[in-house]
Amino acid sequence: MKDELLDLYREAGRIARRVLSAGEGMVRPGAGVLETVEAVEAMVLSAGAGLAFPLNCSFNEAAAHDTASEGDERVFSTGDLVKLDLGVHLDGYVADTAVTIDLGDHGELVQASRAALDAAIALARPGITTGELGGAIQAAIEFHGYRPVANLTGHGLDRYLLHGPPGVPNIGHPGGMPLQEGQVVAIEPFASTGSGLVSEAARVEIFGQIAVRPTRLPSARRLLDLVRERHGMPFSRRWLDLPKRDVALANLVKQGIVRTYPVLHDVPGSFVSQAEHTLVILEDGCLVTTA
Ligand code: MN
Ligand code: MN
């Protein structure tokens, strides 16, 4: 990887680490979800970077893809297990990192996903397969007595591309893709007290453009004008200041121009923890850009 490119990944990682750490300190019982999410997102922009996706703020059995909605009145409460997942980009080069904040008594569960991430990072180098990384993640989570979430994976990153190859599973399997020098990979173990499988909830606050096609509805056209500069990276409903926004979104989803990212959750009453870092694979190991 060229030095200038590595520098961009490093700088995006530095900003993400600093902002996420500040966000972690804001998640306290009684604090507002909307205020917290907006404050964290504003810190990224004032650092001169862009948001690769809306700040994910997912509670308890929700593993991912929740964020504040417009007028969101939710507050953090004692007992909550909160995942903050932040994506920062510089010129399209992404740092993707997440932490879990325990407002209850889920310390061991938080430790499980962290230990799994550490185990994967310790192994990450050219030639190791994604199946072997998944095996290390699974073993660490099961050692702590929880289930890895089998249908969520880490992923390769590329310019403006958030979920490219290779997928990095949270469970072991034979084979898989060998990592290569120069690849950028986000690894994100999820540990659960529930079934270890997530499904889609009805709640949708995050969207992304997946096709470029002309559309007739004027409000839909204006929405596409607003999100064009995202180059396909996800956006939140809350970001769109537009009359007939929800009609436009529904129309674009129906046409297959925009996709939804529904909240992903394990069974009701369960708790899911997440830890995530972005890595650049180097000749003799890896550089963790977000650590
Ligand atoms: Mn993430
Ligand atoms: Mn990710």
- Is 85 tagged catalytic? yes
What dotted CATH number matches 3-198+266-288?
3.90.230.10
Segment holding 100, helix H or strand E: strand 93-102
Catalytic pick from 155, 205, 266, 277?
155
> 278 CA to middle of ligand 2, Å?
8
Cα–Cα distance list, 15 to 11, 39, 89, 289 (Å): 6, 14, 9, 10
Q: Can you give the residue ranges of every domain in the chain?
A: 3-198+266-288, 201-263
Same fold, 3-198+266-288 and 201-263: no
Which ligand sits closest to the CA of 167? 2
Residues 6+ apart with CB under 8 A from 98: 20, 56, 83, 84, 85, 86, 188, 274, 275, 276
pLDDT at 19: 98
Active site residue 144: no
Q: Which one is catalytic: 41, 66, 80, 96?
A: 96
Closest ligand to 161 CA?
Answer: 2
For the domain spanning 201-263, the CATH number is 1.10.10.10
Do the beta carbons of residue 60 and residue 81 sit within 8 Å?
yes
Q: What's the token pair of residue 125?
A: 């180098």
Q: What is the DSSP letter of 226?
A: H
Q: Tens-of-pLDDT digits for all 291 residues of the chain?
A: 899 999 999 999 999 999 999 999 999 999 999 999 999 999 999 999 999 999 999 999 999 999 999 999 999 999 999 999 999 999 999 999 999 999 999 999 999 999 999 999 999 999 999 999 999 999 999 999 999 999 999 999 999 999 999 999 999 999 899 999 999 999 999 999 999 999 999 999 999 999 999 999 999 999 999 999 999 999 999 999 999 999 999 999 999 999 999 999 999 999 999 999 999 999 999 999 999
pLDDT of residue 85: 99
User: pLDDT tens digits for 77-87?
Assistant: 999 999 999 99
Total-model pTM: 0.97
User: Which of these is catalytic: 41, 188, 205, 266?
Assistant: 188
- How far apart are the CA of 275 and the centre of ligand 2, in A? 10
Condensed to tens digits (0 to 9), the pLDDT of residues 7-51 reads 999 999 999 999 999 999 999 999 999 999 999 999 999 999 999
